[in-house]
Structure 1
């Protein structure tokens, strides 16, 4: 559950909820060497130890879920500073956030409930991610904490816990500076007054495809698993996330009349097993005009710099991406953002301006 004022709960039962980090309990076991030949208790003077039991086999569902959530964890970790440090740039998209996510085993489709259970989730909402720099992080909320009460009202449990808790939280974020949260940790309860955090309220989604692509639909940002494997650093991943945040902030999906199309693409790709047929072409997504793309690049670089990431290598990254995945790859990034040469000039100018402001100690704002 993404604990924001406006959360999207539709499809929780239909889709595997890979958009939120999950706490994993991992263990490994080694086995004592077996005896051979005539070596035995009598010859060694030591008792023969029974082999340790082998670790339980990892099911395909567990492996698949763990792999996807590992990508999601990294995506959220990189996105956190972008969201928390750019409320001033997100215009009408800034909201008060609690700054943590929570899930139950029922957050997944029936196929993955057993896998989620084996990895530590139950029918009680458990904190599965804390937004770096948020009020929740500052008061010490941790992964694995169980949600017991909010403003002294018991937190729902069971299959509908996420939706019911979202309805409980919705009215609380207006007119408050903090929210009282009771959690269970190590068998005992404790109460935290969680300050609300003003941040960009964009959903950050993982797309389950190896296509090297990213999308924005006005309220969400989707980065594909393929894109996450393509980037070489957190700085590069921050460029990609911020570029889609900038498109949303500048209302480009609406201006392109692509909101419904992009929402449909994202809804498909957040599924654990998306329909790959539309991805054989452009999925109905029109390329962005070069002026809109350059404007998003400029705003994105300011977001990246304000979040503490480097902007020095931005133009080199986009050139590398366009070279390896040119516009002829219809389901690739450059097909939607084809004006690479035009954009590079705008990127280099923005980088120069940002570095000058950083050097002079000026506020980094466009």
Structure 2
């Protein structure tokens, strides 16, 4: 499932509740604005670190795309249109949620909260029949639809986006920059977790809150992106691996563990090529392991944290012994053909 954002929705709806006294309403508005700013900052941080990883490693990726460093949201994600428009400033159904500060979208003059009117001269409005085919909760299908259209258009640049700001419409021309094909999204949740589905890298807000710095965040995002780059979901499916409880047993667990080891090894190279300190992986998993050592990361499908840290240190030594080329260090796992899991 693709992750979607629920930016302070409960607070936004509370702001619009007619029964609130003026003081309570003002407090709710202030709380909604504060929550929106915090969640937008989290989205921007994940997008920025993820984009840096994807762009830096594009020369080594088999599947690339033209990234512009921008994410969208849609009025349909919110339960009350009027409240959402008042809180988030939607001038149209689609708007810009987050931007990478030095990314192509920001450099072209796009700003957060700009409304998106059209893509290549065609109004950005999903046909209802197409939305029904998208494997997501109904409220988030419009965003998935628009994202797919934008990514496809960017495969054949330049792309013209028609935007609205302050009641005025204007066009922006975008070409994007080569990046490994992966999207990066925040999942609002109190649970610690991160995942990859072959295209999307998702991380929960709780896990993000545990990060001491961007090197640690890069370690988690690089690990999940490595799953996508190495096509682990497809390769596990092709190997007939069973999910759920059965994944913790026998061959299922053994092959799943093999993909986790590959993702850990590749993540070190992805981090280094993007200018992040690979030691962030060691620091994060040492601290996380000591505090949250049980759970999925102590299951048969994952190394326990001490062994995992040893694997990172081993891969860092291997990295240090290589020569940096024009585009960085060539990750061995991306240089070799992908083989069936056995």
Q: TM-score by structure 1 length?
A: 0.66
Q: Answer yes or no: is 1:306 the counterpart of 2:273.
A: yes
Select 2:72's aligned residue among 98, 102, 109.
Answer: 102
C-alpha deviation, 1:224, in angstroms: 2.1
Deviations 1:79-102 (A, max 9, x none): 22112222234423x223444222
Q: Distance in 2 between matches of 1:344 and 1:196?
A: 36
Distance 1:208 1:283 in 2: 25
Judged with a 3 Å threshold, the aligned counterparts in structure 2 of structure 1 residues 240 and 19 are, in CA distance, closer, same or farther, namely: farther
Output one character per residue of 1:163-184: Cα deviation in whole Å (capped at 9) or x when no partner: 775575465334x231122323
Q: Distance in 1 between matches of 2:158 and 2:273?
A: 25
Is 1:153 the counterpart of 2:122? The answer is: yes
The CA distance in 1 between the partners of 2:29 and 2:212, in whole Å, is: 30
**SS of 1:84's equivalent?**
helix
| Superposed CA offset, 1:290-309 (max 9, x none) | 54333212211111122221
Larger Rg: 1
1:173 maps to 2:138: no
| Aligned-partner SS, 1:180 | strand
Counterpart of 2:28 (choices 58, 64, 72) is 58
Name the counterpart of 2:165: 185
| 1:1-42 residue CA offsets vs partner (Å, 9 max, x unmatched) | xxxxxx96xxxxxx9x417899xx9xxxxxxxxxxxxxxxxx
- Aligned partner of 2:286 in structure 1 is 319
Q: Given that residues 74 and 94 in structure 2 are in contact (C-alpha distance below 8 angstroms), is that contact kept between their aligned partners in structure 1?
A: yes
1:72–1:164 Cα change, 3 Å: closer
User: Counterpart of 1:310 in 2: which secondary structure?
Assistant: coil
Question: In 1, Cα distance between the equivalents of 2:80 and 2:66?
Answer: 34
Q: Which has the higher helix share?
A: 2
CA apart distance, 1:337: 2.0
1:114 equivalent to 2:83? Answer: yes
Pairing 1:249–2:229 present:
yes
| CA deviation map 1:147-201 (0-9, x unaligned) | 2333233444999865775575465334x23112232334433322101332233
Q: 2:297 aligns with which of 306, 311, 333?
A: 333
**RMSD of Structure 2 on Structure 1 (CA):** 4.2
Contact 1:78–1:237 (Cα < 8 Å) also in 2: yes
Give structure 1 stretches of 5+ with no counterpart. Answer: 1-6, 9-14, 26-51, 263-281
Q: Secondary structure at the match of 1:56?
A: helix
Residue 15 of structure 2 is matched in structure 1 by none
- Separation in 2, partners of 1:259, 1:320: 35
Task: State the alpha-carbon separation in 2 of the partners of residues 105 and 260 from structure 1.
Answer: 38
What is the rounded CA distance, in whole Å, between the counterparts of 1:342 and 1:156 in structure 2? 50
TM-score, length-normalised on structure 2?
0.70
Count how many residue pairs are aligned between Structure 1 and Structure 2: 301
Shift of 1:341: 4.3
Residue in structure 1 matched with residue 5 of structure 2 by the alignment: 18
Equivalent position of 1:295 in the other structure: 262
Q: Match for residue 278 of structure 1?
A: none
Cα shift at 1:58 = 1.0
Judged with a 3 Å threshold, the aligned counterparts in structure 2 of structure 1 residues 261 and 221 are, in CA distance, closer, same or farther, namely farther
